[in-house]
Structure 1
């Protein structure tokens, strides 16, 4: 009996080892598919015909892009593209987009080499409406090969791998880079035989999209006190959408086109910027790095980032149409790139930051109001097709541009950036008293008629001013008294009205 018991134990160990080997091989197979074989057609009716591919090597990732014509015999049906990033830590990001040219009741069926066997998943829910500040996490759900997955974007932990997988989103393509989600047309992922099955509807005039992050390490430390909060607030499910260029936001009602479920690409990359300075999830670094490379890719030839919808009030007040230059969003994107360079030392981030810095120098030269001591109040908005447009100057835009220029000067030691930063600083000093309202709050903007007006944000401008003091100390060796006066005035106003200071 002792010998038989020993043989049984040995058999159990061998079986367990074989099971673990299969699981590790499954996750490794998905991660190793860093090529066009990552996605395969499972349709009898449609074929994928390769039409292009490209690759770029970066310091922290390798990017590959593939394109296929989807055909039915000789009949073109649409174009499928895939962007992949193999990150330095071994993780894999992918993004699929299908643009049908014809409508057909039969869907394009695809598969990706992700095998789910024994796993748990969770996702963001919206019991109080589509508001990230009121969303909640679902219960942790266990699954196996027979599980029917919900139509949700999920964080999945399998026995030997970890995934973020979006559901299959369908958007109606609107004008000016805006797209309207059709959740009713979207599809859940389906568990297949050693793969996941993706159903992409053939509906002309739509964009069908699905993306994910794959890792052999846990993507999220769910025991971390803050990581689940940051992930929930970032959303990446129903409130914010990951697109080919970056994050899409709900389109404001003041933009055109718009609807309650329309999304526009905000070029600022605020979520990526949050993630590269946040601990508690491997997913933060993965998504942050991909966002940095997307920021480089989406920068236009002039050096800034377009805001593609039409802002109705910009059109009415200043005659500025769609695809305009928003100095705040573009400067935020450039700051993100400089922070990315500080952390990862990929020169492509600094090169893109300099490209924007050079554009800002040029824009400021022709779009500013000069103050009494030679300071420059740089206008908030511009348009390549309307270079004569004159707009207001908001304090938060202005100060953020200065902060960016100081940061760029620290990295490059190029005097032109420091000189313009100094002109902005002088402009704020020259106008310091005019920014303060009678109640101690700050005016939002210097208007085109020389007055000050509009309601300031609760704390955004205050945070920008605090950042400025840090750059003054680092570059000039001291904090500035006039900036401190503005900070204290705003803080005292917030305290008097029982409002948060941060």
Structure 2
């Protein structure tokens, strides 16, 4: 009797469907909790209402109806046969045949589909799971904490674990799953909507937007793509923008389009504005603006990005996750930059159609010192970081507009940036939140002041020209090792965009040499007052450690992002190291051993050698030897290794710490880094093992001395370095310390980076 009634109800529900009823006519969903999902699935043609103007969200759903929703949602190909209880001519025959062919339904032991039976929540989980697997490997599971999880049938248990993990189906308010409860039409709409959202199947048809004409001569409108444009406007009256020129340049995986405009009358401008659209290979675009104001007054400007065919938005702000604690450093002073504003998610209904990372407004002044040889040391004096924006919604035009306000200061440079995407920048909210938290915690190591010329970061006080708020394009910070490590960890889109942007920054810094296949040895563009005083070295000069970082990044990025033209980008720097012996830029130790000076500039005196530089160079050459098999790299690495070892035990200070450097007279000096050199020593031992070189007993002695000093003086040892210590048999040195316990809680050997970039960032 129950089956007969169920079949009759199913027939009536199916028979009364009206396929093109507008969602606005459904009088019974106006206050329903699933209203948005229902309306969007109706627009997608996945689910329909009834010809009496109702949707009946609380009505039960049969197995056949739910399968029909999935078939339409996945747009599955037609099948050739169904089941004995679904004869040809049945209203759902085509959907059930398609579901059978795809494996969404298998039939019971009697070979029947039972499509007229009401569907339980457990069966919903099973069918959703099968649908997910058709589109990829979605095999991760979450341990079930539902109070009734033991009542979930064995056939559905794994599916419930997976669908819970991916957020497609959740428990009730009282933390029960209720596996035998019958699903309703409203609930089913939500389940299928979540499936389509996860699989990126909610594809609204976007119409190309018409590029509007500028409202006045104070406004510029530039097309980003077929669906997006940007407006840049001088809001202060009487400040026109007139066209100067347009240029383009290629970077690895991106192209820069620069648009230049006079500020003020073209016949007598008082500055210029440049808008750069950095278009990435995945369709995302960085929008950089730069105002160079040579006059005295301060003007107001704005950068607006309208998102048409959108109805709402949400904004995830960095400051919701904490406040940057700007601490004083005896080397750098205070870094007054913080973090971007956050991610704007633009929506149509509940579906995200665009996302934008909103940067801030940075005010600075160009500073430089010119030397008698005509060379220059250049940097920026940072003035202020500003945050001012508006996000508005125009329901009549279905448009969400983000406007970033910009202060154009006199005798200064004003810059802002944004990243626009038609996809989510983070698929995982947890990953996004963790990145926000990390950026706040490590604000001094993650670039926030982004420009089309490269990221600007805090410089030490010991620079020339000397400014406490001196910022510059530091080669180590231009390379995106920290973002590449994050991307390799979970493949989030935002990390990849930052990696591609870092590649562009290095290419711009090299004047386009990387894109031409001519990777240079990078030269630092600001002078270190200490180097100038001791050796007469002024910018531009070569810093070996910074070049090591850049070369490693280019090589690793080529592997992670499949950029074959960068696969050998590291060889240029490796060859530079090999050539230093011939150049004479070395400190001889014995007839067969030497160390390479940290810095090189033609005409200046030979500089000192830092232990961490020497270790990094040696390890870099070993990595290059492993890559190429060319013995010149192995020979040079062995000579550097011998040079370090021959100077032992002089490297060790009386207090057990290591000296930072040695000069050409073999005089040791300087306070070493807290743990960077320790990391270099440990990773060097690993590099020896990888290349068949016996472990260095002298390096082990320095590791022991450095670690004991760190423990005694309560120097913080990172979890990664602690793990290296334990792996190499030095765990007893940190036993009972916080460093020892952190490894078991946070890391395992597979989590370690393959290179030094993360450790250097720390």
Q: Scaled by the length of structure 1, what TM-score is found?
A: 0.81
For 1:93, what is the secondary structure of its paired residue? Answer: strand
Q: Does the C-alpha gap of structure 1 residues 256 and 57 become closer, same or farther in structure 2, counting only changes over 3 Å?
A: closer
Task: Give CA-to-partner distance per residue, 1:410-434, whole Å, 9 cap, x none.
Answer: 3333333333222212212222322
Structure 1 position 469 matched with structure 2 position 685: yes
Q: How many pairs are equivalent?
A: 480
1:94, 1:212 within 8 Å by CA — same for their partners in 2?
yes
What CA distance in whole angstroms lies between the structure 2 residues aligned with 1:5 and 1:448?
Answer: 83
Q: CA deviation at 1:368?
A: 0.4
- Structure 2 residue aligned with 1:111, among 288, 291, 304? 304
Q: CA deviation at 1:490?
A: 1.6
Q: CA deviation at 1:474?
A: 1.6
Structure 1 position 212 matched with structure 2 position 418: yes
Q: Which has the higher strand share?
A: 1
**Map of 2:7 onto structure 1:** none
Structure 1 gaps of 5+ residues are 136-150
Structure 1 position 40 matched with structure 2 position 231: yes
Q: Does the C-alpha gap of structure 1 residues 382 and 271 become closer, same or farther in structure 2, counting only changes over 3 Å?
A: closer
**Map of 2:559 onto structure 1:** 342
What CA distance in whole angstroms lies between the structure 2 residues aligned with 1:464 and 1:422?
Answer: 16
**Map of 1:147 onto structure 2:** none
- Structure 2 residue aligned with 1:375, among 581, 593, 597? 593
What CA distance in whole angstroms lies between the structure 2 residues aligned with 1:315 and 1:367?
Answer: 17
1:163, 1:212 within 8 Å by CA — same for their partners in 2?
yes
Moved more, 97-106 or 310-319: 97-106
**Map of 2:256 onto structure 1:** 64
**Map of 1:145 onto structure 2:** none
Moved more, 6-15 or 338-347: 6-15
Across the aligned residues of Structure 1 and Structure 2, the Cα RMSD in angstroms comes to 4.0
1:305, 1:330 within 8 Å by CA — same for their partners in 2?
yes
For 2:257, what is the secondary structure of its paired residue? Answer: strand
Moved more, 289-298 or 88-97: 88-97
What aligned pairs does 1:249-288 form with structure 2 within 5 A after superposition? Answer: 249-269=457-477, 272-278=480-486, 279=489, 281-288=492-499
Q: Does the C-alpha gap of structure 1 residues 496 and 204 become closer, same or farther in structure 2, counting only changes over 3 Å?
A: closer
**Map of 1:129 onto structure 2:** 326
What CA distance in whole angstroms lies between the structure 2 residues aligned with 1:28 and 1:353?
Answer: 44
Task: Give CA-to-partner distance per residue, 1:354-393, whole Å, 9 cap, x none.
Answer: 2333333334532101222511211112224x24x12111
What aligned pairs does 1:319-358 form with structure 2 within 5 A after superposition? Answer: 319-358=536-575
Structure 2 gaps of 5+ residues are 1-15, 45-196, 212-221, 369-376, 393-398, 514-518, 722-762
Higher relative contact order (CA 8 A, sep 6+): 1
Moved more, 390-399 or 421-430: 421-430
Q: Does the C-alpha gap of structure 1 residues 23 and 105 become closer, same or farther in structure 2, counting only changes over 3 Å?
A: farther
- Structure 2 residue aligned with 1:52, among 221, 224, 246? 246
1:338, 1:350 within 8 Å by CA — same for their partners in 2?
yes
For 2:539, what is the secondary structure of its paired residue? Answer: coil
Task: Give CA-to-partner distance per residue, 1:220-254, whole Å, 9 cap, x none.
Answer: 73424853443324438998522334332223222
What aligned pairs does 1:347-496 form with structure 2 within 5 A after superposition? Answer: 347-365=564-582, 366-384=584-602, 386-387=603-604, 389-476=605-692, 478-496=694-712
Q: Does the C-alpha gap of structure 1 residues 260 and 22 become closer, same or farther in structure 2, counting only changes over 3 Å?
A: farther
Moved more, 170-179 or 233-242: 233-242
What aligned pairs does 1:286-301 form with structure 2 within 5 A after superposition? Answer: 286-299=497-510
1:189, 1:197 within 8 Å by CA — same for their partners in 2?
yes
For 1:168, what is the secondary structure of its paired residue? Answer: strand
Q: CA deviation at 1:483?
A: 2.3
What aligned pairs does 1:172-191 form with structure 2 within 5 A after superposition? Answer: 172-175=365-368, 176-183=377-384, 186=386, 188-191=388-391
What CA distance in whole angstroms lies between the structure 2 residues aligned with 1:17 and 1:209?
Answer: 44
2:479, 2:503 within 8 Å by CA — same for their partners in 1?
no
Q: Does the C-alpha gap of structure 1 residues 128 and 497 become closer, same or farther in structure 2, counting only changes over 3 Å?
A: closer
2:346, 2:400 within 8 Å by CA — same for their partners in 1?
no
